Amino acid sequence: MILVTAANGNQGGLLIPKLLEAGADIRACVRTEASEAQLRAAGVADVVVGDLADPLTMTSAMEGVESVYYVGPTLHPNERTMGFAAVDAARRAGVRAFVFSSVLHAITTDLIQHVIKRDVEEHLLSSGMDFTILQPANYMLAHRLKPAFERGVFRLSWSLERRQSLVALDDVTDVAASVLLNGERHAGATYELAAPGSFTGHDLGEIITAVVGRGIAVEEIDCETFLTELYGDVDRHPYQARLMRAISARYSSHDFVGNANVLTWLLGRPPTTYAKFVRCQYDIHRRRVDAQRAPGV
Ligand SMILES: NC(=O)c1ccc[n+]([C@@H]2O[C@H](COP(=O)([O-])OP(=O)(O)OC[C@H]3O[C@@H](n4cnc5c(N)ncnc54)[C@H](OP(=O)(O)O)[C@@H]3O)[C@@H](O)[C@H]2O)c1
């Protein structure tokens, strides 16, 4: 049995179908009944609904599990406690292999969510369980492209001059599936996962422009504006605001660059490029627009 946490999230949504297709016995952990219903409809028979911050949820999720794919939910104030508790609960339950989805350059001390993942990595290393650590670069995310496709503006809340490496979640979850299904080959490994290249905001804008065939403006929005757009009342989200401010500051003062060698080796094929990702998302966008325009819809 493989336990997948954050199972209806960015990674989980892609990973679960891959594991199901491979015939794996899966348990999914989510927070809401809405996600539970979606996962059951997709063919997951065993779904634990609960808060990862609750030790009881963690304990019952780990029961009878052989391998864990642990993804901590995005920007959660209890991320460190949850990660430590997951490792401890897995060890207590006799889990054989713990695969932790961490982050590229978890040693970066001025990024709060990186330091937390570094600490969870260390806790895992000390647990005595077989471990594999995946360190994805910044995700290529479809929702970041929406304003570019709809309004012709690509926006970032950090400097447009700094370079970043990215990674496609389809590639990350191909690796995760392979690691979970062939655990022993990957025991004790830490893998940095980045697609080829590193790009400034301007570079990304040029790639999107080439795909959509019309000029896409690139805009830097300051972090406070970004936070207000995201949360409305920012004061109600002090933890998330602190993290996002740290991200904007770090990404505005330093590049965030990885290397594609490890990902290429793990996939046994070239990783998805940003251009390919944008092409794929633009096709989806155009099909959606066409469907909305279709008569009778
Ligand atoms: N964004 C990036 O570029 C990037 C890059 C590298 C690493 N990371 C790291 O990747 C991780 C996030 O991965 P992701 O984007 O795949 O996950 P995600 O989309 O944030 O995960 C959402 C899933 O987590 C579940 N969830 C949320 N809070 C929960 C809680 N308290 N208890 C139980 N389940 C909960 C949700 O359940 P419901 O569906 O029921 O709500 C949902 O299924 C974060 O640790 C982030 O720092 C992100």
Cα 2 from Cα 64, distance rounded (Å) = 9
CA of 71 relative to ligand 1 center, distance in Å: 6
Residue 259 maps to a domain: no
pLDDT for 183 equals 81
Residue 87 maps to a domain: yes
For a mutational test of ligand 1's pocket, the pick from 5, 10, 135, i.e. the residue with the most ligand atoms closer than 8 A to its C-beta, is 10
**Residue 290: in which H helix or E strand, if any?**
helix 274-293
Reading the block at residue 246, the tokens are 């740290």
pLDDT for 143 equals 95
CA of 12 relative to ligand 1 center, distance in Å: 8
Residue 105 maps to a domain: yes
Q: What is the mean pLDDT of residues 146-160?
A: 97
Q: What are phi and psi of 2, to 5 degrees?
A: -110, 125
Reading the block at residue 66, the tokens are 């052989």
Q: What is the mean pLDDT of residues 39-67?
A: 95
The minimum-distance atom of ligand 1 relative to the CA of 78 is 31
From the list 57, 55, 35, the residue with the least C-alpha distance to 44 is 35
Query: Per residue in 188-241, pLDDT tens?
Result: 999 999 999 999 999 999 999 999 999 999 999 999 999 999 999 999 999 999
State the CB neighbour count (10 A cutoff) for residue 226: 20
Residue 170, CB half-sphere, CA atoms under 13 Å: how many?
11
> Can you tell me whether residue 139 is helix, strand or coil?
strand
Which amino acids bring their CB within 6 angstroms of ligand 1?
6-12, 30-32, 35, 51-53, 71-74, 76, 101, 103, 113, 136, 138-139
Closest CA to ligand 1's atom 35: 31
Query: Per residue in 77-107, pLDDT tens?
Result: 999 999 999 999 999 999 999 999 999 999 9
Residue 62 maps to a domain: yes
- Expressed as residue numbers, the domain containing 47 is 2-136+168-193
Residue 88 maps to a domain: yes
For 256-279, give the DSSP string: B---SHHHHHHHTSPPPPHHHHHH
| pLDDT more than 90, % of the chain | 97
CA of 70 relative to ligand 1 center, distance in Å: 10
Closest CA to ligand 1's atom 14: 10
Q: Are strands 26-30 and 46-49 parallel, antiparallel or unpaired?
A: parallel
Cα 271 from Cα 269, distance rounded (Å) = 6
Q: At 1, is the pLDDT very low, low, confident or very high (cuts 50, 70, 90)?
A: very high
**Number of domains the chain contains:** 1
The minimum-distance atom of ligand 1 relative to the CA of 8 is 43
Q: What is the mean pLDDT of residues 132-158?
A: 97
Q: What is the mean pLDDT of residues 20-28?
A: 98
DSSP code at position 157: S
Closest CA to ligand 1's atom 27: 73
Q: At 168, is the pLDDT very low, low, confident or very high (cuts 50, 70, 90)?
A: very high
Question: What's the alpha-carbon Rg for the chain, to the nearest Å?
Answer: 20
Sign of the dihedral through C-alpha 22, 23, 27, 28: positive
Reading the block at residue 195, the tokens are 């697609």
pLDDT for 294 equals 82
pLDDT surpasses 60 at 297: no
The alpha carbon torsion through 246, 248, 252, 253 (nearest 10 deg) reads 0
The minimum-distance atom of ligand 1 relative to the CA of 113 is 47
Q: What are phi and psi of 80, to 5 degrees?
A: -65, -50
Residue 175 maps to a domain: yes
Q: At 140, is the pLDDT very low, low, confident or very high (cuts 50, 70, 90)?
A: very high
Residue 93 maps to a domain: yes
pLDDT for 129 equals 97
For a mutational test of ligand 1's pocket, the pick from 32, 47, 71, i.e. the residue with the most ligand atoms closer than 8 A to its C-beta, is 71
Query: Per residue in 236-282, pLDDT tens?
Result: 999 999 999 999 999 999 999 999 999 999 999 999 999 999 999 99
Q: What is the mean pLDDT of residues 54-68?
A: 95
Q: What is the mean pLDDT of residues 138-165?
A: 97
Q: At 293, is the pLDDT very low, low, confident or very high (cuts 50, 70, 90)?
A: confident
Residue 294 maps to a domain: no
pLDDT surpasses 70 at 296: no
Q: What is the mean pLDDT of residues 11-31?
A: 98
CATH code, domain with 122: 3.40.50.720
Sign of the dihedral through C-alpha 143, 180, 80, 33: positive
Question: Contacts from 207-213 at CB under 8 Å and sequence distance 24+?
Answer: 207/274, 207/275, 207/278, 208/145, 208/148, 208/154, 208/278, 210/275, 211/275, 211/278, 211/279, 211/282, 212/148, 212/149, 212/282
CA of 230 relative to ligand 1 center, distance in Å: 17
Chain-wide mean pLDDT for the chain? 96
CA of 214 relative to ligand 1 center, distance in Å: 34
Q: By the 8 A CB rule, do 130 and 97 touch?
A: yes
Lowest mean pLDDT among 5-14, 48-57, 264-273: 48-57
More confident call, 293 vs 67:
67
Q: By the 8 A CB rule, do 112 and 248 touch?
A: no
